[in-house]
């Protein structure tokens, strides 16, 4: 009986246990930590050193950090250009003439009146759970003249399914005044990736030396750079920049051989769908649906307008996988995501 019972038990599939996603606010530390079964996933941060809230770092399922450390936690041998590129963020380069994208502590005082900042105002709610958790926050977009122009309510859903981590970002922007998102290349959902996810064809730049000093380097050893972009339309590598697609992935591997993939999925209800990809070999991975003429001179400027009191929603999914994802994988994931919201 024991042998028979054991045989039967082996034939019965064991249901997978959903992993626990914990969302833990620490408002005094200006952060919300997100973990999966106690292991780091990401944190929602609003430090005084940045001009916007961010998610940082992004950690893949095997524990590999796939985002650049600088400017929040500089690492040796990484680029130190673009100090406004921190983790994962959402903003834009030209809202009524004000630049929310490029603002940082490096901006000269005389340029500050032309910039814009996004201020975290409050945590609305947070929930932990098996398989996924969520966080809803509010923030205010303030232009360089001190005028509040946008109230943003953003829901983040943090989850894991079939070993792949995902972040859904549903941002609802309410116009406090008439808004024109003037056609511009600097937008909207951005990720600054780790050094080894840069393109092997990218050369030179500003790097961190062993003493933590930013140093201009004319040429650089790109042997650890392995990142290759691929879009839903089959465009690959450096050619991805300024093309459109429903999704884009970035495949690469760490110096010790760990395969990782980051993907951004656009949603059909977003303005400007399918998005243009502002994806650069030096490590900027961004979806920008509000640039048009800037990417394709043959089309008219988009200049997306939102009237005072109206709300516009931008919905994206970011995937993190510690295995190589293919076009078939992303086509399936995109179809599922498109039907979800």
Count other C-beta atoms under 10 Å from residue 78's C-beta: 20
Task: Provide the mean pLDDT of the chain.
Answer: 94
CA 60 distance to own-chain centroid: 13
Tens digit of pLDDT for each residue in 37-57?
A: 999 999 999 999 999 999 999
Give the range among 46-55, 208-217, 244-253, 305-314 with minimum mean pLDDT.
208-217
For each of the domains in the chain, give its residue range(s) and CATH number, in order of start.
17-338 (2.70.98)
The contacts of residue 7 (CB under 8 Å, 6+ apart) are: none
CB-side neighbour CA atoms (13 Å) of 89 = 30
pLDDT on residue 329? 98
Of 2-6, 22-26, 251-255, which gets the smallest average pLDDT? 2-6
CA 237, 238, 244, 250 dihedral sign is positive
Residue 211 pLDDT grade (very low, low, confident, very high; cuts 50, 70, 90): low
- pLDDT of 167 over the 70 cut: yes
Count CA atoms closer than 13 A to 232's CA, side-chain side.
Answer: 20
Strands 129-130 and 116-127: unpaired
pLDDT exceeds 90 at position 3: no
For the segment 227-244, what is each residue's pLDDT rounded down to a tens digit? 999 999 999 999 999 999
Say whether pLDDT at 280 is over 80: yes
What's the average model confidence in pLDDT over 280-307? 97
The span from the CA of 163 to the CA of 2, in Å, is: 34
Phi/psi-derived region of residue 38, left when phi > 0, alpha when psi is between -120 and 50, beta in every other case:
left
The single residue listed with the structure tokens 């909207």 is 188
Average pLDDT, stretch 270-282? 97
* pLDDT(248) > 70: yes
> Above 90 in pLDDT, residue 85?
yes
- What per-residue confidence (pLDDT) applies to 210? 58
Q: How many residues does the chain have?
A: 341
Greater model confidence, 30 or 14: 30
Distance (Å, whole) CA 5 – CA 297: 71
Q: Which residues pair with 118 in a beta bridge?
A: 141
Residue 245 has pLDDT above 60, yes or no: yes
Residue 11 has pLDDT above 50, yes or no: no
Statement: residue 13 has pLDDT above 60: no
Kindly state the tokens that stand for 318.
């970011």
For residues 285-302, give the mean pLDDT: 97
Q: Which of 47, 11, 1 is nearest to 27 (CA)?
A: 47
């Amino acid at each position: 009986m024991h042998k028979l019972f054991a045989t039967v038990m082996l034939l019965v599939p064991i249901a997978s246990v959903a992993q626990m996603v914990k969302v833990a606010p620490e408002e005094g530390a200006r952060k919300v930590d997100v973990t999966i079964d106690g292991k780091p996933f990401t944190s929602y941060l609003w430090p005084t050193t940045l001009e916007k809230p961010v998610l940082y770092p992004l950690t893949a399922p095997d524990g590999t950090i796939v985002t650049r450390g600088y400017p929040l936690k500089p690492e040796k041998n990484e680029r130190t250009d673009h100090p406004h590129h921190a983790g994962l963020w959402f903003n834009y380069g030209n809202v009524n003439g004000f630049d929310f994208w490029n603002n940082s502590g490096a901006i000269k005082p005389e340029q500050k009146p032309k910039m814009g900042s996004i201020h975290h105002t409050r945590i609305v709610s947070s929930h932990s759970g098996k398989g996924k958790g969520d966080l809803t926050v509010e923030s205010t977009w303030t232009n360089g003249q001190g005028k509040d122009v946008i109230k943003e309510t953003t829901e983040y859903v943090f989850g894991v399914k079939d070993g792949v981590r995902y972040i859904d970002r549903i941002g609802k922007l309410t116009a406090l005044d008439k808004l024109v998102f003037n056609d511009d290349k600097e937008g909207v959902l951005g990720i600054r990736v780790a050094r080894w996810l840069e393109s092997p064809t990218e050369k030179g730049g500003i790097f961190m030396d062993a003493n933590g000093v930013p140093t201009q380097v004319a040429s650089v050893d790109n042997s650890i750079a392995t990142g290759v972009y691929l879009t839903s339309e089959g465009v690959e590598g450096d050619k991805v920049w300024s093309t459109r697609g429903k999704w884009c992935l970035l495949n690469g591997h760490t110096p010790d051989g760990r395969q990782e993939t980051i993907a951004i999925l656009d949603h059909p209800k977003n303005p400007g769908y399918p998005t243009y990809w502002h994806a650069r070999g030096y490590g900027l991975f961004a979806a920008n649906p509000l640039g048009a003429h800037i990417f394709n001179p043959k089309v008219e400027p988009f200049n997306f307008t939102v009237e005072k009191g109206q709300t516009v929603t931008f919905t994206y999914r970011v995937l993190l996988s510690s295995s190589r994802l293919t076009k078939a994988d992303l086509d399936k994931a995109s179809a599922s995501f498109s039907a979800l919201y």
